[in-house]
Amino acid sequence: MSNIIVVFNAGSSSLKFTVFAIEQKSLIEKLIKGRLEYDEDVFHFFASNQHDQTIEQQTHALNKNKPLEFLFNWLKEHEQRQHNIVGVGHRIVHGGPDFLDPVRVTPNILKQLEALTPFAPLHQPQTLAPVHNIAEYDPDLPQIACFDTAFHRTIPDIARLLPLPQRYKEKGVRRYGFHGLSFDFLAQRLQKIDPELASGRTILAHLGNGASLCALKDGKSLETTMGFSALDGLMMGSRCGMIDPGALLYMLKEENADWNILVNTLYHQSGLLGVSGLSSDMRVLRAHLAHETDPLLRTHIQQALSLSAYRIVEEIGALVAIMEGLDGIVFTAGIGEHDATLRKDVCGALGWLGLKLDDDANSRHASIISQPESTIRVRVEPTHEELVICQKVLPFVQDQL
C-alpha cells in the first residue's frame, strides 16, 4: 500500500488534481494528474500518468455519482495498489490579512475562509467547493489550505496600502498579490539552479491566462503587480488588468452598468479578448495574425499583442525602480514558457538595461535565453504549484506516514 497526497486546483468548470506518492516520509513522486470537468448533467473524468499518457477517461451522470467520491474510490483501487490517502491539499485563492501560512481546515477555519468571499467573489467559492465536498465524504481526512496570497506577506506595509479612506483598510481592503504558490516554487527552484538570482534582484513573470509579476529580492517578495484583486496589474487573457477607475465610473453613469455587467466586462470580455475582438488565447492570436486578411481585425490583433508586451515592460520598469536594479528575469506559466515572440518583445524593450537576448536560445525555449555578456540573466522555467502545495501538506500528515 502506498501513501498518497492529493492536490486540488479548482476552476469555474473543472477541478484539476495531482496525486503524489510519499515515501520515506519526505520523498515525493508525482503519480497521476487529471481533472474533473462538469457539464449540466454529467461529469467527465480524465487521468494520465507521470509520462502524460492517458490512463483513464470516463463520463458519468451527476445524479448517480458524486465526482469527488468517484475520484477517491478510483484512487484507492487504481491498478489494485490500494492507495492510502493521507492528506489533501487545496490551492485557496485568498487568505486575507490573517492566513499567512498553510492551515488545516476545520469547520471554524472554513467559515473564516468563506467570510473572505467578498475579496474574491469569483474565485473563493470555487476553491472552497471541493473542501466542503471532501469534508462531507470523509470528515477525518486532513485537508490543508494553501494560499495564493501568502507568499507576498513580506511586502512592506506601505506597499499594501490603498489610497482610500482608512475605513477600507480596517475592513481588509488592501493590496495582497496572487500567484504566490507559483512564485514560491520559482524561488525554491532558483535556490537550486541559480543561487545568485535567488538572492539577488529578480523579476518572476507568471504569464498565462492570468498574469502577474513578482519582484523577488533576497529570496522574498518585495512587490507584485496584482493588488486587492486578481484583476489588477498586467493585461490578461480576458481580464483588463490595471485600469483608470474613471472608466468604471463612465460605465456606471453612461451605460447604467450594474455589478454583473462590470464583472462580466472586466473579467470576461477585456484583455486580449477585448482588444483583439477574437480570442483570449495568445496562440490563437499569433496564428490568425500570420494569415488574417481583414485589415481591421489584423490591426486589432496586433494592438492586443503589442499592448500585452507594453504593459509587461511598463510594470517591469516600476519593479526595477522598487528593487533599485535588476539582476534577472524568469518567465513561467503557459505564455511565459512557450511564447518566444512575447519574450523577445519584452526583452528587446529592456535593452537599455543591458539585457541582451540570445535569439536562438529563445526560439528553442532554452533554460537561459540571455547572452553570456548580458547584464541581466533571463531564464525560462516551468512552474509547479501542485508540488509546492504537496510540500506544505507533508508536515501536517507526518504522523500517518
Tell me how far apart the terminal alpha carbons of the chain are, to the nearest angstrom: 11
Cell of 293: 486578411
How far is the C-alpha of 123 from the C-alpha of 146, rounded, in Å?
A: 14
Distance, in Å, from the CA atom of 190 to the CA atom of 224, rounded to the nearest integer, reads 18
Q: Which residues are catalytic?
A: 148
pLDDT given at position 400: 79
**How does pLDDT run across 265-319, given as a tens digit for each residue?**
999 999 999 999 999 999 999 999 988 889 999 999 999 999 999 999 999 999 9
Question: Per-residue pLDDT tens for 335-385?
Answer: 999 999 999 999 999 999 999 999 999 999 999 999 999 999 999 999 999
Distances (CA, A) of 101 to 190, 217, 260, 323: 21, 20, 33, 25
Residues 150 and 180 sit within 8 Å (Cβ to Cβ): yes
Nearest CA to 297 among 281, 275, 282, 280?
275
Helix axis angle for 124-137 and 67-77, nearest 10°, is: 60
Check pLDDT > 60 for residue 80: no
Q: What does the block give as the cell for 178?
A: 496572487
Task: Give the largest Cα separation in the chain, rounded.
Answer: 64
Q: Rounded to two decimals, what is the model's pTM?
A: 0.93
Percent of the chain with pLDDT over 70: 97
